[in-house]
Structure 1
Amino acid sequence: MTRGSVSRAVRKSSYLGSTAPWRSAAYLLGGSLLGAGILVLGVVLAAVGVLLTPVLIGIPLLAALALSGIPVAALERRRVPLVEPARAPGPSPHRTPAAPGVPAWFRLRVREQATWRELAYAVLFAVVLWPLDLLVLACAAAAPGLLLAAPAHLAVSGGPGAGGVRPGKLWLVETYPAAWGTALLGLVLLLGLAYPLGAYAAARAAFTRFLLAPREAEAADALAEVTRSRARLVDAFEAERRRIERDLHDGAQQRLVALTMTLGLARLDAPAGSPLAGRLATAHDEAGRVLTELRELIRGIHPQVLADYGLTAAIEDAADRSAVPTEVGAPPRLPRLPEAVESAAYFAVREALTNIGKHSGATRARITAAHTDGVLRIDVRDDGRGGVDPSRGTGLTGLADRLAVLDGTLTVTGPPGGPTTLSVEIPCQAED
């Protein structure tokens, strides 16, 4: 039988035949045991912390007690799906520290509202909620259970004539017919009280989720943290690209240049027309082609012109290398922008020119770029056949994702028959 929501199951006639009553009882029993343990542990930590504070050992214990709501809340969020299986454990309202280590984690947690709200919940749980859970469980399950056990209780006590028994201290039962009647009453009570038991468990889970779910402001903070984390990843990615470009430029490329020069000198020393001269010529030409390919690879990883002279020069260089004649508009030269912005904009232009050369059938293209009012805008327009469909390839999708990290947008308009325009907008501030 599939596990469904207790709050929905309790309103159906099939409730008693489902797992919902058992899950409700397990949820409340787990809450009772967990709450009692938290109360005992909290009292012990508080007492020991206060006693040892004069010798400073108690201060870490009191700090741990102040943060004890965090693990309690995490456990409570994970217990909610026992009653509401369709809901995953509630998301944590806590942010990721910007720096590794316990001090950074502690400083962030102390400043978060969620930490103190979770501590308040832990206190409420230890003082009020778990006794209430235990009381409801006892009324709904323990009391009917005592009535159900009346025949066995009577038998253990010596049977009829031995003075009788009082199930649940309610009334005297001296005969087996009375004992079986009491057991039947206990069964009816157990089945009837299963409904309020389930309703209470569902309400208890909803209350927990309401108190421990992230608030709107905390969710916004978490979203901002995700955005900052993505930006840090982009910066790290760009730094790694530049490192690879430098390693190839200063290492492999220089060795290939030296190899090409050595092969060229060897060709001059070899007898003209000899087999050795032919093999050296072949090796020299092949080394030259490899060097050219390596330079193109380095330029594709991170063009040196972009790092040295900025986005305007890099766009002009990309236009010169385009397979389709490309004109660059003549606005004032762009200022130096953040490295991630320049790199994303440059590769957007490269991708646009590549697509124009491969798919558009265009005879000309034009690039315009400007930085005004804190926004970089670049338009790449061609006179091709149009009908562009960004969903057919991953290049534009990848560019859009990369720009989204910078709060930028990528827009492509290309009706059948053309023209096609790719527009990039990235909010950024000039660095010079």
Structure 2
Amino acid sequence: MPIDQAPLRALLSRRYLVSAGPWRAFAYILTALPIAAPIGAVTALLALPWVTALARLPDGILPDGGMLVFMFVSLVLFAGFGPLVAIPLATVERARIGLIDPRPLPSPHPPAPTRPLAWIRARYAETATWRALLYAAFLGLVVPATYGAFGLLVLIDVAFLTSPFVAGTATADMTVGSFTVRSPGQAIPFTLLGMLLIPVLGYLSGLIATGQAATARALLGDRAGAALREVAQSRARLVDAFDLERRRIERDLHDGAQHRLTSLTLQLGLARLDVPEDSPAAGPLAQAHDQAKELMVVLRDLIYGIRPQALTDLGLPAALRELAGRSPLPVAVSVADGVIRPSEQVEGTAYFAASEALANVVKHAGAGRADILLARAGEALVLEIRDDGRGGADPAGGTGLTGLADRVAAVGGRLLLASPEGGPTLVRVELPCRA
């Protein structure tokens, strides 16, 4: 059975020993040896002055001048140059953890400047760097001791398994405690014990590898960032599902309800022509025909509000110009050079942001005109809606700005608002837009 989700869950499975779990654990342990050995040697050398000083304290011997110098130098070397080793070491460990844990372990480091001094300044100011240094100390002090004890148990088990071939030879006898094995027959109990220890070592290797992997995930992972990314991805999935449902409703209304209503309106019109004007049915029939035509207008506006056809066919600039033409206020639309067509999700978000902002201008701003600017700034699509109204827009006032900000954030963008008392009001939407 492959490791599922987390090493500990695989370790607790009843089929662990017959799965790939023990082999993955052994591979994880073996690949750690060439890394932990040099790190352990350097860490032990730097820790030697401190260990020596602490060992003398019970005898009442305080560190003298020379010892204090060694302790200070080791601390400076560890804190000053340790991060330069810990950062690439953490990169290797995040990749190596895939041997036992299939879950990705993203780096907690944000992008840093490429200039060496700026890079060092940025990295040394990050908490993730010092957590990586703490993991390097764990790898240099705890891991070698743990692996050494495990290796000793493996050697003992190998000795038990090979005891029938060693006992009673001409070179030497096998002694276990006070018991001496002089013949292969006397070694059979130790062989059986060695066979019983094999599954124990399998579980023990899994436990050691799981503990090291858990430590690596705790110290080297982007804990807060992973949670935020999961929330953002979940919110993006909800927005995608919402957009898909909007599209389905739009298709159903356009292909079904609108066509039937059009047919009904035509039938009422033909019936109205066939009925004499002085007939008792002429009045109600004319009223039904007029109401059907009004309902067609309402349904067409409803379909347009779900997703305008111009946005799908012609793109965002054309849809914004059509939106401006439908507004009761004079609205000027400006599109800067270099604007590319974004993804469908970003395009829809930008359009509905402009639609909601214009609706707020009409309802609350008391403005005489509005302006829409569409531009590109680096890898961001920038949409600005400005009006000459009274200002004082407040997201807490029920104008829909909070929901709009959530919708923008769901696609990785942000919404900025400037609305001083007396105006003007500027709504700026920045959305990711990569070529």
Q: TM-score range by the shorter chain?
A: 0.5 to 0.7
Q: Could you tell me which amino acid in structure 2 is paired with residue 59 of structure 1?
A: S
Determine the structure 2 residue equivalent to 1:229.
234
Cα drift, residue 353 of structure 1: 0.8
State whether structure 2 residue 19 is matched by structure 1 residue 59: yes
Determine the structure 2 residue equivalent to 1:292.
297
Q: Note if contact 2:25-2:100 (Cα within 8 Å) is conserved in structure 1.
A: no
Q: Could you tell me which amino acid in structure 1 is paired with residue 270 of structure 2?
A: L
How far apart, in 1, do the equivalents of 2:348 and 2:22 lie?
Answer: 50
How far apart, in 1, do the equivalents of 2:299 and 2:267 lie?
Answer: 18
State whether structure 2 residue 310 is matched by structure 1 residue 318: no
State whether structure 2 residue 345 is matched by structure 1 residue 340: yes
Q: Note if contact 2:317-2:335 (Cα within 8 Å) is conserved in structure 1.
A: no
Q: CA distance change for structure 1 residues 216 and 296 in 2, over 3 Å: closer, same or farther? A: farther
Cα drift, residue 230 of structure 1: 2.5
SS state at 2:249 partner = helix
Map 1:20-39 onto structure 2 (within 5 A). none
How far apart, in 2, do the equivalents of 1:336 and 1:218 lie?
Answer: 33
Cα drift, residue 283 of structure 1: 0.5
How far apart, in 2, do the equivalents of 1:110 and 1:398 lie?
Answer: 37
How far apart, in 2, do the equivalents of 1:43 and 1:244 lie?
Answer: 47
State whether structure 2 residue 428 is matched by structure 1 residue 423: yes
Q: Could you tell me which amino acid in structure 2 is paired with residue 324 of structure 1?
A: L
Using structure 2 for the length normalisation, give the TM-score. Answer: 0.52
Equivalent in 333, 336, 341 of residue 331 of structure 1? 336
Q: Structure 2: which 5+ residue stretches go unaligned?
A: 1-7, 27-97, 107-134, 136-141, 151-210
How far apart, in 2, do the equivalents of 1:279 and 1:107 lie?
Answer: 78
State whether structure 2 residue 348 is matched by structure 1 residue 388: no
1:146-185 CA distance string (max 9 Å, x none):
xxxxxxxxxxxxxxxxxxxxxxxxxxxxxxxxxxxxxxxx
Q: Could you tell me which amino acid in structure 1 is paired with residue 254 of structure 2?
A: H
How far apart, in 2, do the equivalents of 1:42 and 1:231 lie?
Answer: 35
How far apart, in 2, do the equivalents of 1:43 and 1:330 lie?
Answer: 60
Q: Could you tell me which amino acid in structure 2 is paired with residue 238 of structure 1?
A: D
1:233-258 CA distance string (max 9 Å, x none):
32222222112111111111111111
Cα drift, residue 300 of structure 1: 1.1
State whether structure 2 residue 281 is matched by structure 1 residue 273: no
1:44-85 CA distance string (max 9 Å, x none):
866xx3xxxxxxxx337869999xxxxxxxxxxxxxxxxxxx
SS state at 2:19 partner = helix
Determine the structure 1 residue equivalent to 2:79.
none
Say how many residue pairs are matched.
255
Q: CA RMSD in A?
A: 3.6
Map 1:133-144 onto structure 2 (within 5 A). none
How far apart, in 1, do the equivalents of 2:253 and 2:321 lie?
Answer: 24
Equivalent in 396, 399, 402 of residue 397 of structure 1? 402
Cα drift, residue 330 of structure 1: 4.8
Q: Note if contact 2:105-2:221 (Cα within 8 Å) is conserved in structure 1.
A: no
Cα drift, residue 213 of structure 1: 8.2
Q: Note if contact 1:45-1:62 (Cα within 8 Å) is conserved in structure 2.
A: no
Using structure 1 for the length normalisation, give the TM-score. Answer: 0.52
Q: Structure 1: which 5+ residue stretches go unaligned?
A: 1-37, 50-57, 67-105, 129-206
Equivalent in 355, 364, 369 of residue 360 of structure 2? 355
Q: Note if contact 1:382-1:421 (Cα within 8 Å) is conserved in structure 2.
A: yes
Q: Note if contact 2:336-2:376 (Cα within 8 Å) is conserved in structure 1.
A: no
SS state at 1:377 partner = strand
Q: Note if contact 1:45-1:65 (Cα within 8 Å) is conserved in structure 2.
A: no
